[in-house]
Amino acid sequence: MARTWSEMEEFQPTVLKMIKNSIQKDRVAHAYIFEGQRGTGKKEAGLLLAKSLFCLAPFDGYKPCETCLNCKRINNGNHPDIHVIEPDGLSIKKSQIQSLQEEFTKTGVESRRKMYMIEHADRMTTNAANSLLKFLEEPHAETVAVLVTEQPQQMLPTILSRCQMISFTQLSPKNLADFLVEKGVKPEAAPLLAQLTNNPDEAFEISNNDWFAQAQKIVLKLYEALKNHSLEALVTLQEHWFGHFKEKDQVDRGLDLLLLMFKDLLYIQLGKRDQVVYLNEISRLEQFALQTSGRRLTEQMAAILEAKRKLHANMNSQLVMEELVLKLQEGSTLV
């Protein structure tokens, strides 16, 4: 999702200030590394930098106008002097870097300036990284490089040393929830989404997902069954859970939803109602919270975290869930 300068400034004010200063002082580096966790806006910031450099009528000399031909082409990914490299399969290959180098031996199509951005730069093969290193050692005038990565520690130290590192921080759940509401997400849904992901685009995608809406209902149904006879919870798994949470990442998401429900119960007991994220179910949760203890909730949350660990260790997901249901009903965790 292309973001305007003002939108991006809400997410990464420090990053935007650095970019603004470098443009205003005419000190744009020949190579940057944009590093930070997924969903922190690294690629969007790279595209904003491109628009700032190529915009035909920037506000205050640095803010892209978003309406000129260059801004529109960059948003649509078809500006002839801006090149984006993505992994070919699992890695970025030497041939991709060589093609980029050949492209940059030519004069810019519309100006002397050129820019390239390499996504997941940590996935370059050794040969690709060495080819890029030569490119970085002898930078072309008017050329700007942006290497985007979640794992800079996986990159060659010699590449890191030739680039200006800019770190992107995670948006706080509260700020993300506020942003989501501002962009049209229902206020009662935003806090839960903001706990599940730090990526605004992913949060929007989840909010419009029928699978996710149904997942919440099944998690609530499972919790209600847990309060009754153990057989009822196991039947709920068979009849509702296993048919909906089929893939490993779906089971993981279901466990996250379950964990957040137990957290809400604990928050209600502690008088921290403002931290509850299942706002649609607040009345029912308040009733549930009266029927359990803080100690038991803590043990149950530990059991869910242990189930997530087993899931990530590739234990059979059906077995993980059946074990978990029995542990949640005991109110104690496995040793």
State residue 2's pLDDT score: 63
Say whether pLDDT at 256 is over 80: yes
For the stretch 119-156, pLDDT in tens is 999 999 999 999 999 889 887 778 899 999 999 999 99
Q: Is residue 335 part of a domain?
A: no
Span 281-310, average pLDDT? 94
The two three-digit tokens of residue 103, written as one number: 């492209």
Beta strands (DSSP E) in 41-85 are 82-85
**Do 298 and 330 form a contact (C-beta atoms < 8 A)?**
no
Beta strands (DSSP E) in the chain are 31-35, 82-85, 114-118, 143-149, 164-167
**Do 145 and 115 form a contact (C-beta atoms < 8 A)?**
yes
Are residues 106 and 180 located together in one domain of the fold? Answer: no
Distance CA(26)–CA(23), nearest Å, equals: 5
- Of 179, 164, 169, the C-alpha closest to 21 is 164
pLDDT over 70 for what percent of the chain?
96
Say whether pLDDT at 317 is over 90: yes
State residue 222's pLDDT score: 95
Are residues 149 and 193 located together in one domain of the fold? Answer: no
Beta bridge mates, 82:
115
**Do 215 and 237 form a contact (C-beta atoms < 8 A)?**
no
**Do 217 and 199 form a contact (C-beta atoms < 8 A)?**
no
State residue 333's pLDDT score: 38
99: number of Cβ within 10 Å:
13
**DSSP code for 41:** -
Are residues 215 and 201 located together in one domain of the fold? Answer: no
Are residues 142 and 222 located together in one domain of the fold? Answer: no
Domain extent for 198: 173-208
Are residues 201 and 221 located together in one domain of the fold? Answer: no
Are residues 74 and 148 located together in one domain of the fold? Answer: yes
Distance CA(119)–CA(148), nearest Å, equals: 5
Say whether pLDDT at 335 is over 50: no
∠ CA 232-235-239, nearest 5°, is: 140
State residue 107's pLDDT score: 67
State residue 108's pLDDT score: 59
Instruction: Classify strands 164-167 and 31-35 as parallel, antiparallel or unpaired.
Output: parallel
Say whether pLDDT at 198 is over 90: no
The two three-digit tokens of residue 60, written as one number: 């205050």
DSSP string of 137-181, one letter each residue? HSPPTTEEEEEEES-GGGS-HHHHTTSEEEE-PPPPHHHHHHHHH
Are residues 151 and 32 located together in one domain of the fold? Answer: yes
- Of 124, 132, 160, 157, the C-alpha closest to 32 is 160
- Of 196, 197, 217, 193, the C-alpha closest to 207 is 193
Query: CA 261: distance to chain centroid?
Result: 22
Are residues 149 and 196 located together in one domain of the fold? Answer: no
Are residues 244 and 189 located together in one domain of the fold? Answer: no
- Edge-to-edge order in the sheet of strand 31-35: 82-85, 114-118, 143-149, 31-35, 164-167
Are residues 24 and 69 located together in one domain of the fold? Answer: yes
Q: What is the pTM of this model?
A: 0.68
| pLDDT tier, 1 (very low <50, low <70, confident <90, very high otherwise) | low
Beta bridge mates, 144:
115
Average pLDDT of the chain?
91
- Total number of domains in the chain: 3
- Of 185, 90, 171, 165, the C-alpha closest to 128 is 90
Residue whose tokens read 């806090």: 191
Q: What is the CATH number of the domain that holds 258?
A: 1.20.272
Of 146-150, 165-169, 213-217, 230-234, least confident by mean pLDDT is 230-234
Beta bridge mates, 117:
84, 146
Distance CA(129)–CA(132), nearest Å, equals: 5
